[in-house]
Amino acid sequence: DTAVSQTPKYLVTQMGNDKSIKCEQNLGHDTMYWYKQDSKKFLKIMFSYNNKELIINETVPNRFSPKSPDKAHLNLHINSLELGDSAVYFCASSQPRADSSYNEQFFGPGTRLTVL
Amino acid sequence: GQNIDQPTEMTATEGAIVQINCTYQTSGFNGLFWYQQHAGEAPTFLSYNVLDGLEEKGRFSSFLSRSKGYSYLLLKELQMKDSASYLCAVRIGGNKLTFGGGTRVLVKP
């Protein structure tokens, strides 16, 4: 039933560790995204994939590596976690339209990452 | 750079009307979105404007003036469940959305 799902919902880990967050959408959308929402609630785009191809790659440390095994999944792997990585990470998906009109993004429930 | 400004917080009474303003200065413009985000939850889509004017959807309306780089979201007949953050986002080419910091609306009885 869930449109965009993420696991885990909460992730608490030590500095220096490597962790992954998984995202799946069952909406049949071609485009998926990763966003980071910090403590000040700013929601910032990190990456976007369209049909498994990377199309948006914002200024993100290369410790962050997205992977899209198929168009329904977009995972985020983070190496050498730092304190500043603590945030809520949202996955989203959308379906581009042929006429380039708007395509609302559907967000997952978020993964709250806490780095100690 | 991209600049999207909205007030940090607003308080209103149940049954009243609240208007949340958003001004933007961006390197491109391909539409403006409003999203609602309850505490601890995902943002959910409210409205989209790409042409100047008012779009109405039930108790919520959104207005856009492209020449002024300005939008507002109007919430009428406020209900307690409308207490949430409201995020203004500009679509800058393709699928990229740039979000403002959000406006936290607190509805009081």
Q: Do the Cβ atoms of A31 and B95 come within 8 Å?
A: yes
Among B41, B91, B99, the residue with its CB nearest the CB of A43 is B99
Share of chain B above pLDDT 70, in %: 100
- For residue B82, pLDDT over 80 is answered with yes
Residue B41 sits at the chain A interface (C-beta within 8 Å): yes
Q: Do the Cβ atoms of A109 and B98 come within 8 Å?
A: no
For residues A5-34, average pLDDT: 96
- For residue A65, pLDDT over 70 is answered with yes
pLDDT on residue B96: 86
pLDDT on residue B28: 86
Mutation target vs A (from B30, B33, B87, B95; most A CBs, 10 A cutoff) = B95
For residues A81-96, average pLDDT: 94
Q: How many other CB atoms are there within 10 angstroms of residue A92's CB atom?
A: 26
Selection from A70, A83, A86, A79 nearest residue A36 by Cα? A86
pLDDT on residue B71: 98
- For residue B87, pLDDT over 70 is answered with yes
Confidence of residue A98 (pLDDT cuts 50, 70, 90): low
Sheet-wide strand order for B60-65: B3-5, B18-25, B70-75, B60-65, B53-57
pLDDT on residue A58: 87
- For residue A1, pLDDT over 90 is answered with no
Mutation target vs A (from B2, B4, B26, B97; most A CBs, 10 A cutoff) = B97
pLDDT on residue A91: 97
CA dist A37 and A41 (Å) reads 5
pLDDT on residue A99: 65
Q: Do the Cβ atoms of B42 and A109 come within 8 Å?
A: yes
Selection from A34, A22, A30 nearest residue A94 by Cα? A30
pLDDT tens for A21-32 read: 999 999 999 999
For residues A84-109, average pLDDT: 87
Structure tokens belonging to residue A49: 């994939």
Separation in Å, CA of B48 to nearest CA in chain A: 8
**Higher-confidence position of A60 and A99:** A60
Confidence of residue B2 (pLDDT cuts 50, 70, 90): confident
- For residue A108, pLDDT over 80 is answered with yes
Mutation target vs B (from A102, A103, A112; most B CBs, 10 A cutoff) = A102
Confirm if A116 and A13 have CB atoms less than 8 A apart: yes
For residues A3-26, average pLDDT: 97
